[in-house]
Amino acid sequence: MPGISTLAAVVTNISQNGLWLLLEEEELLVSFEQFPWFRKATIDQVSHVERPTKDHLYWPELDIDLSVESIRKPAAFPLMSHGGRV
């Protein structure tokens, strides 16, 4: 039986440009330009984020899965970070 996850991801701010996530000691910007799926989401939907593993984030109400690395380096994940556009 798996244990309870103690990894936390906290949305600390939401602005017109994106949302800020606190992951332990690191704060990352999830830009709406790079991650457009969050732009129309409600505050409750965006704030409900889970971190099942150290490099995996999941927003269950939006059915969005992201790797932490894709937020750190969105240019390395062009199809993901541009909503599927090539």
For the chain, give every domain's residue range: 10-81
Q: What is the pLDDT of residues 25-39, one digit of tens each?
A: 999 999 999 999 999
Mean per-residue pLDDT over the chain, rounded: 88
Q: What confidence tier does 3 reach under pLDDT thresholds 50, 70, 90?
A: low
Q: Residue 13: in which H helix or E strand, if any?
A: strand 10-14
Instruction: Give the pLDDT score at 4.
Output: 58
Q: Reduced to 3 DSSP states, what percent helix, strand and coil does the chain have, rounded to the nearest 5? A: 25, 35, 45
Nearest of 38, 42, 45, 40 to residue 19 by alpha carbon: 38
Instruction: Average the pLDDT over 29-57 and give the result.
Output: 96
Residue 82, token pair as written in the block: 């541009």
Residue 13, token pair as written in the block: 């701010």
- Answer whether residue 80 shows pLDDT above 70: no
